[in-house]
């Protein structure tokens, strides 16, 4: 089991404060949904958790099993079992999908190299499961991939690495219904074990396929309320204005979106 406790987390980029005191508790074995309007800080939160160097942490802590990880390098956080599926996966010219995943799986295992035969067998099985053409093994990672192919590739990486806790940063954005169902199928496969996830999204539709145990609403740099599926229904019915009205949040100029979140 992995426990992630976020206490009064504050962070900025280019001198602009985005996270203004985030409190959140997450556990493996649970699926959490994080929703909120554009610019509320959702993607910033995911980047800070995994250690993106562009963001400056100005206060608070992120504890993984009681240990503050904010001074750790991103690869050290990954070795703990954290995984981030990027909203905009980057292209990696010169590195094939097979080579990238082989190296990542070896590092994750931490026990020397996995036998190549066993790795290739598992990779092909997972590619079939995610409906990814086998020829992608020899293609450069994400180079020339469509948006949907990139998102499926992120979930393939997750299936191969088997993290304790994954953050899916708007993985549903830009996906048609068929691709969305495939992505959700990959997430739900890991859910059968001791796996946790934070699903960051603007919309309800992915939550129809990945049913969350808990739902959190983020607004202007803070988590303002948490609950169950009824929060999703309220957002669908009323938009985000009811959040401001119900919780007495005063009008102010909306922050400019940073990392779309």
| Count of positions (residues) in the chain | 261
Gap between the Cα atoms of 56 and 59, Å rounded: 9
CB under 8 Å to 230, separation ≥6 — which residues? none
Query: Does residue 120 lie within any of the structural domains?
Result: no
pLDDT of 30 = 96
Residue 239 φ/ψ region, left for φ over 0, alpha for ψ in the -120 to 50 degree band, beta for the rest = left
Query: Does residue 126 lie within any of the structural domains?
Result: no
pLDDT of 203 = 84
Query: Does residue 109 lie within any of the structural domains?
Result: no
pLDDT of 255 = 42
Query: Does residue 14 lie within any of the structural domains?
Result: yes
Gap between the Cα atoms of 55 and 146, Å rounded: 28
Cβ–Cβ under 8 Å, residues 42 and 32: no
222-227: strand order across its sheet? 82-85, 165-169, 196-201, 31-35, 214-219, 222-227
pLDDT of 222 = 96
CB under 8 Å to 50, separation ≥6 — which residues? 74, 77, 78, 82, 84, 167
pLDDT digits (tens, 9 = 90+) for 200-221: 998 889 999 999 999 999 999 9
Query: Does residue 216 lie within any of the structural domains?
Result: yes
Query: Does residue 71 lie within any of the structural domains?
Result: yes
Give the three-class secondary structure for 181.
helix
Number of domains in the chain: 1
pLDDT of 8 = 98
Query: Does residue 105 lie within any of the structural domains?
Result: no
Residue 32: which domain range? 3-91+163-247
List the chain residues with pLDDT less than 70: 111-117, 248-261
pLDDT of 239 = 84
pLDDT of 180 = 95
CATH code: domain of residue 175: 3.40.50.300
pLDDT of 111 = 57
Query: Does residue 53 lie within any of the structural domains?
Result: yes
């Amino acid at each position: 089991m992995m426990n992630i406790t976020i206490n009064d987390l504050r962070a900025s980029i280019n001198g602009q404060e985005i996270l203004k005191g985030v409190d959140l508790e997450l556990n493996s074995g649970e699926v959490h949904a994080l929703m909120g309007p554009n610019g509320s800080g959702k993607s910033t939160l995911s980047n800070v958790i995994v250690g993106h160097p562009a963001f400056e942490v100005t206060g608070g802590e992120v504890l993984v099993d009681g240990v503050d990880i904010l001074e750790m390098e991103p690869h050290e956080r990954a070795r703990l079992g954290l995984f981030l599926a990027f909203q905009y996966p980057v292209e990696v010219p010169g590195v094939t999908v097979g080579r990238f995943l082989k190296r990542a799986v070896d590092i994750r295992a931490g026990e020397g190299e996995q036998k190549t035969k066993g790795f290739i067998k598992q990779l092909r099985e997972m590619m079939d499961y995610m409906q990814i053409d086998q020829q992608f093994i020899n293609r450069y990672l994400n180079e020339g991939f469509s948006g949907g192919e990139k998102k499926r590739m992120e979930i393939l990486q997750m299936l191969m690495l088997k993290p304790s806790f994954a953050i899916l940063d708007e993985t549903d954005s830009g996906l048609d219904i068929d691709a969305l169902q495939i992505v959700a199928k990959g997430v739900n496969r890991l859910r059968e074990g001791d796996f946790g996830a934070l699903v960051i999204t603007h919309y309800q539709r992915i939550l129809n396929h990945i049913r969350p145990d808990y739902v959190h609403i983020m607004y202007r740099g803070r988590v303002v309320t948490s609950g169950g599926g009824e929060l999703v229904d309220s957002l669908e019915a009323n938009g985000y204005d009811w959040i401001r009205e119900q919780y007495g949040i005063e009008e102010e100029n909306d922050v400019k979106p940073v990392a779309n979140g």
